[in-house]
């Protein structure tokens, strides 16, 4: 697979390098130079999820990994169910939150971990990352007990929820968690200082589990095919709750490969740079506003250049397939209550996608919104909107009383570097 740096197209690399490197020169994103349509889509859709996903990834990645290797990797990475739940007669939801950390991020993080393990030619590498909560959990579970990989995760002490902390700080084994006395920016500064230290980089074979790693996007392409396989009438509209726009990028890649999806809804909260751009063709990010769907509080979505590249930088071509819409917290809460009366409990991100879908769905279309997180992950908001408790799913129930194994450290750079060398 050939990928080029979208900021410097002359920088081209293969998939292996792109996975290890994460970003290109000037923090440019890597993206496939070419995305060819797959053949015999009906037969592909007939396959079960794992063999179908392995074939899609083989088509994308090419000779760098065999179909057998990819089948094993997919089996290990996606070892949890994918559910489609009907909500109304013409709307259903694809629940992507049945993995170990109860969010769609498990797909990307777990496949990226398999890729890093497959490509690792060193005795031991160290994944070093900072988290404000969710990414750390997905990364920790993705790399848990993978041979040859140590993981160090920094997070701000006392600034993530106790359940969030337990979800990734009780694993132990190759997962080391460090509670930093400071905020998330301190954690990021410490991680950067380690990457800037040549001695530490080499001694520990440092790698980052970057959220815009191409392996994550490829993994996400597979569940759009699952959506298309479950609804084959040719009138499928998929609504994607969007923040950094990685998820929508993967959906559009799936469509380019041949997944029969008629069109997409890009649903955001009031951080609406993209919906406004689609309307008036002006890229005008405004300061980020805090909302109930806080994982989508992004004013400058990182992945947007990938979407433009996919459409040959032709905005009208994007607009033919993507409808943007922005929802307020009031609309989101109303949608959560409406879903509840329909017998479906959703957290705010899924509710944004539902609301955006409902507002634009034509009579002859079938709508599917992506459920990106389990309602228990946003328990406080869900309980306050629905005025009743949300039961804990087994993954959270299991860790509720588990001991937190983290060590605490100050936010002093020298102490941290000393610890890494030590």
Ligand X SMILES: Cc1ncc(COP(=O)(O)O)c(C=O)c1O
Between CA 119 and CA 146 the distance in angstroms is 13
364 backbone dihedrals φ, ψ, rounded to 5°: -90, 15
> Of 54 and 295, which has the nearer Cβ to ligand X?
295
Residue owning tokens 């209550």 = 337
- 247: contact with ligand X by CB under 6 A: yes
Kindly state whether residue 213 participates in binding ligand X, applying the rule CB under 6 A. Answer: no
What is the closest distance, in whole angstroms, from the C-beta atom of residue 253 to ligand X in the complex? 13
Site stretch for ligand X (CB under 6 A), options 65-73, 200-208, 241-249, 397-405: 241-249
CA distance 21 to 175: 21
Ranges of beta strands (E only) in 157-269 are: 175-180, 206-207, 236-241, 263-268
What is the nearest approach in angstroms of ligand X to the Cβ of residue 241? 4
Q: Of 198-206, 242-250, 319-327, 388-396, which segment contacts ligand X by CB under 6 A?
A: 242-250
CA 187 to chain CA centroid, Å, is: 21
Question: What's the min distance (Å) between Cβ of 221 and ligand X?
Answer: 13
Residue among 137, 158, 75, 144 at smallest CA distance from 113: 144
Q: Is 246 in the site for ligand X (CB under 6 A)?
A: yes
The three-state secondary structure class of 302 is coil
Cβ 113 to ligand X shortest distance, Å: 18
Nearer to ligand X by Cβ, of 100 and 246: the residue is 246
In this chain, which of 129, 242, 406, 411 binds ligand X, going by CB under 6 A?
A: 242
d(CA 88, CA 125): 48
Site residues (CB under 6 A) for ligand X, limited to 284-323:
295-296
Rounded to 10 deg, the angle between the 246-257 and 214-230 helix axes is: 60
* CA–CA separation, 338 and 103 (whole Å): 22
**Minimum CB distance to ligand X, residue 231 (Å):** 21
Closer residue to ligand X, CB minimum distance, 93 or 372: 372
CA-based end-to-end distance of the chain: 39
Burial of 360 (0-12, 13-18, 19+ CB in 10 A): middle
Q: Which is nearer to ligand X, 71 or 302 (CB)?
A: 302
Kindly state whether residue 103 participates in binding ligand X, applying the rule CB under 6 A: yes
- Choosing from 244, 328, 359, 360, the residue that interacts with ligand X (CB under 6 A) is 244
Nearer to ligand X, 170 or 346 (CB): 346
- For residues 337 to 376, the per-residue mask of contacts with ligand X, x marking binding by CB under 6 A and - elsewhere, is ------------x----------------------xx---
Is residue 260 close enough to count as binding ligand X by CB under 6 A? Answer: no
Strands 30-32 and 2-5: antiparallel
Lookup result for tokens 């169910």: 81
Q: Using DSSP, state whether 271 is helix, strand or coil.
A: coil
Nearer of residues 54 and 351 to ligand X, judged by Cβ: 351
* Contacts with ligand X, residue ranges (CB under 6 A): 103, 134, 241-247, 295-296, 349, 372-373
């Amino acid at each position: 697979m050939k990928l080029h740096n979208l900021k410097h197209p002359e920088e081209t690399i293969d998939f292996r390098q792109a996975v290890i490197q994460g970003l290109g020169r000037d923090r440019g994103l890597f993206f496939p130079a070419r995305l060819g349509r797959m053949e015999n889509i009906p037969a592909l859709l007939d396959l079960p999820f794992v063999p179908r996903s392995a074939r899609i990834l083989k088509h994308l990645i090419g000779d760098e990994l065999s179909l057998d290797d990819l089948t094993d990797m997919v089996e290990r990475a996606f070892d949890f169910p994918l559910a489609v739940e009907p909500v109304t007669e013409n709307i259903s939801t694809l629940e992507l939150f049945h993995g170990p950390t109860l969010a769609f991020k498990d797909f990307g993080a777990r496949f990226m971990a398999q890729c890093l393990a497959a490509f690792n030619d060193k005795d031991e590498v160290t994944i070093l990352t900072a988290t404000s909560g969710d990414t750390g959990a997905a990364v920790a579970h993705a790399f848990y007990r993978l041979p040859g990989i140590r993981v160090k995760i920094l997070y701000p002490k006392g600034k993530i929820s106790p359940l969030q902390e337990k979800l990734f700080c009780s694993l132990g084994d190759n997962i080391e968690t460090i509670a930093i006395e400071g905020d998330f920016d301190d954690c990021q500064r410490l991680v950067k200082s380690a990457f800037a230290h040549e001695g530490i980089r080499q001694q520990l074979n440092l790698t980052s589990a970057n959220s815009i790693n191409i392996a994550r996007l490829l993994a996400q392409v597979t569940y759009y095919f699952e959506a298309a396989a479950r609804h084959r009438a040719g009138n499928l509209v998929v609504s994607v709750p969007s923040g950094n726009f990685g998820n929508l990028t993967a959906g559009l890649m799936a469509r380019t490969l041949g997944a029969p999806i008629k069109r997409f809804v890009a649903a955001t909260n009031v951080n609406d740079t993209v919906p406004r751009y689609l309307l008036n063709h002006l890229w005008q990010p405004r300061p980020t506003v805090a909302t109930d769907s806080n994982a989508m509080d992004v004013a400058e979505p990182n992945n947007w250049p990938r979407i433009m590249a996919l459409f040959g930088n032709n905005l009208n071509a994007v607009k033919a397939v993507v409808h943007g819409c922005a929802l307020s917290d009031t609309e989101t809460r109303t949608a959560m209550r409406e879903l509840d009366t329909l017998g479906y409990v959703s957290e705010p991100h899924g509710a944004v996608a539902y609301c955006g879908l409902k507002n634009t769905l034509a009579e002859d279309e079938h709508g599917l919104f992506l459920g990106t997180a389990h309602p228990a992950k946003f328990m406080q908001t869900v309980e306050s909107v629905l005025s009743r408790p949300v039961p804990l799913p087994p993954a959270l129930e299991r860790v509720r009383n588990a001991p937190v194994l983290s060590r605490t450290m100050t936010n002093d750079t020298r102490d941290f570097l000393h610890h890494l060398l030590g």
